[in-house]
Amino acid sequence: MIAYLIAMTLRSILIHPDPRLKKVCAPVTSVSPEIGALAEDMLQTMYEAPGVGLAAPQVGVLQRLFVMDCVKEDGATPKPMVLINPEILWTSDETNTYEEGCLSIPDQYADVTRPSQVRMRWLGLDGKAHEDQFDELWATCAQHELDHLNGKLFIDYLGTMKRQVITRRMEKLKRERARG
């Protein structure tokens, strides 16, 4: 039997607190093969984690792109999406509260209220402009990922005390991981 290897690299996910997670990311200036390879690595890293989204700053790249796939049902066809230089065109007045998590803040969850629906425009890996409206988990995830590109984390929506408790837990986790 011949085994085929598919080229991909799992990237390390930064853990909060990290100054790179607080930066406003720069627009992607060219949808180059390097951006394509980064997006492919990010999708593989997201599926492996597992997560439903991942933004470039979470893997230490301070550029405006994220990936997401909110198809969660077992056996359903995956729908990987790559959004480069995403912009929000419209948000609904109706809101939705979802218990969010973050791959950069492992095992911590909190309710965040956001618009239920968003319309976004972005560049695809084909270099062309795309536009679509998202709802349910897709809308929550797209807004969570866009926040990452602006240096904002879901814990920034919480009160000071809750945010401090989570941040201290993450500092402890990082110290433990560093000790090995």
Beta strand ranges found along 24-94 (DSSP E) = 53-55, 65-68, 81-91
Site pattern 140..159 for ligand K1U (x: CB under 6 A): xx--xx--x-----------
Is 144 in contact with 109 (CB distance < 8 Å)?
Answer: no
Q: Residue 174: in which H helix or E strand, if any?
A: helix 160-179
The token pair that represents 114 in the structure block: 């956001």
Shortest Å distance, C-beta 80 to ligand K1U: 13
Q: How far is the CB of 8 from ligand K1U (least distance, A)?
A: 19
Q: Does 52 bind ligand K1U (CB under 6 A)?
A: yes
Long-range contacts of 72-77 (CB under 8 A, 24+ apart): 72/137
Per the annotation, the verdict on 145 as an active-site residue is yes
Our finding on whether 65 is near ligand K1U (CB under 6 A) is no
103 binds ligand K1U, rule: CB under 6 A: yes
Helix (H, G, I), strand (E, B) or coil at 75: coil
Q: Is 102 in the site for Zn ion (CB under 5 A)?
A: yes
Residues contacting residue 9 through CB under 8 Å, at least 6 positions apart:
41, 44
The answer to whether 35 contacts Zn ion (rule: CB under 5 A) is no
* Minimum distance from residue 159 beta carbon to ligand K1U (Å): 19
Nearest to 169 by CA among 109, 118, 119: 109
Which residue out of 94, 100, 145, 171 is catalytically annotated?
145
Residues that are catalytic: 145
Chain contacts with Zn ion (rule: CB under 5 A): 102
Chain contacts with ligand K1U (rule: CB under 6 A): 50-55, 72, 98, 100-104, 140-141, 144-145, 148
